[in-house]
Amino acid sequence: MSYSTLITGPERRRRWSEDQKEALLAQAFGPGGNVTETARRAEVHTSLLYRWRRATLAPAQGFAPAVLIGEADQPAPLPGPAIVVELPGGVQIQVMADAPADLVAATLRALR
């Protein structure tokens, strides 16, 4: 004997537009908002609303623009001890000796 189960309810893996997410976040976290009630009405788990809020509030990831100050041919000397890295093509990078090690390592990795 075989049987089948029919699961009713919202489709899993629904797609939410940015406008829909913003509206739900405003309902949940706005003045007089209630996360549990908003999640129940939208038929989503409360953790999804918190995840969307974290993603909205998180700073954008990416590269910061580099700004060249002074002449490219002659870098201005840094005050105090510095590490000078010369790259192929004659490009020089000066790093203050007291710069954090993780910042120097990330910079050098990026220039590889």
Q: What pLDDT digit, counting tens, does each position of 31-46 carry?
A: 999 999 999 999 999 9
Query: Residue 2 above 60 pLDDT?
Result: yes
CA–CA separation, 49 vs 53, rounded Å? 6
The model's pLDDT over 56-91, given as tens digits with 9 standing for 90+, comes to: 887 666 665 555 555 556 656 667 777 777 777 777
Domain ranges of the chain: 18-57, 63-112
Measured at the alpha carbon of residue 40, what is the angle toward residues 34 and 41, in degrees to the nearest 5? 90
Rounded to whole angstroms, the Cα distance separating 74 from 8 reads: 71
Quickly count: other Cβ atoms within 10 Å of residue 38's Cβ. 20
How far apart (Å, rounded) are the C-alpha atoms in residues 32 and 62?
35
